[in-house]
Structures are given as C-alpha cells and as structure tokens.
Amino acid sequence: MPLDGFHVIHWASSQFGSLLPMHLGGAALMMLALAITLLVYGAKMVPTSWMLVAAGFAAAVLAYFIVGTAINGSGGIQDNPNVQTAAWRYGPACVAIVVFGISGFLFRLSLRAWASDENSGKAFGLALFLMFAAGTFVSVQVVRGSLNPSLIPHRTAARDDGTRMIDVNSPDGPVRRSVSAPRRH
C-alpha cells in the first residue's frame, strides 16, 4: 500500500457511478442519520465531545454532497459540475474529519478503559487505542490523497453549450474564461 494517500471522492465516484438516484438517496439518508447521531451523542456527553460534534457536521456536509449527486441523477461526480468542485475540494476533508472525530472518541474511551480497575480494562483500552491509531492513519492518508493533483480529473473538456469549465489545476490564467457574444456576419 503506497503511503502517498488515497482520494476517497475518486474512489466513491468509480464505485457508485452506476447507482440509481433512489439508492444514492438511501445512502444520503444513512449519512444524515449518522450525522444526527454523532451530533446528539457528542453534545449530550459530559463533558461535550467536540470531536463527535465536528464529525457530525462533516457527515452532514457529506450527506449534502450525496444528495446533490442523487438530484443530478448520476453517481459519477464527473457528470455534475455544480457538485463536482465542492465535493472534490471539501469531500476528502469531511471524510477525514468524520474518521478522526470517531477515532478521537475511541481514544477517549481507551483512556477510560485503561484507568478502570477491571482486569480486562487494560486489554480493552489497548485495543481501542489501536483503533484510534488506525483511524488517525486513515484520516491522514485521506488528506494526503486529496492533495494529489494527479487524481483530480481534468475539467476543461468542452461542454454541450459551447462554454468551458474552469480548470482548477491551472496555476496561471484567469479564474473564469471570458465568453464573448457570437459574431454577426
């Protein structure tokens, strides 16, 4: 496994490209249920678990991206220029926040288990700590993958209406290409 990261949006687009909008809507509902669960559980804890609250907000943003893809009627992100830019920019960070928030909660549980007087507390605390370490590794790899410009698709192909999409990979040039009116002869 290369340690240069992996891009979760690229993976999700290739995996879910053939799903029906109904199935994507179900995935969005599940993500929204996860977001609500994380928000409520994190807010009810004493003291408040801000990592779970942040993970809940990030899961809600991911649910928004999934709904945008479902409304477009295509599971492929390359087909939706409106959701595409936001999903490619903020989707990996949201996934990393969800994973790191849940793993941070596991770290909190591991400290509590390690401090308990039970004999199995040390082993359980160690197992939870290893899950925290794995979650931290995954979130770092997701962030590293989002910084890899070779995985972001080239978005300058001509569209049907004669306009061109913005090339986010281009370091120079205007933010938006100027479009002139058609010439009259």
pLDDT tens digits, 157-184: 344 455 555 555 555 555 555 555 666 6
Predicted pLDDT at 159: 46
pLDDT tens digits, 33-70: 999 999 999 999 988 889 999 999 999 998 888 787 77
Predicted pLDDT at 54: 94
Residue 130 has pLDDT above 90, yes or no: yes
Q: Is-contact 82 69, C-beta < 8 A? A: no
Provide mean pLDDT across the span 145-168: 55
Answer whether 0.85 is exceeded by the pTM: no
Provide mean pLDDT across the span 127-131: 94
pLDDT tens digits, 78-116: 555 544 567 777 888 888 999 999 999 999 999 989 888
- Rounded to whole angstroms, how far apart are CA atoms 29 and 6? 25
- The three-class DSSP label of residue 183 is coil
Nearest partner of 58 among 40, 35, 33, 77, judged by Cα:
35
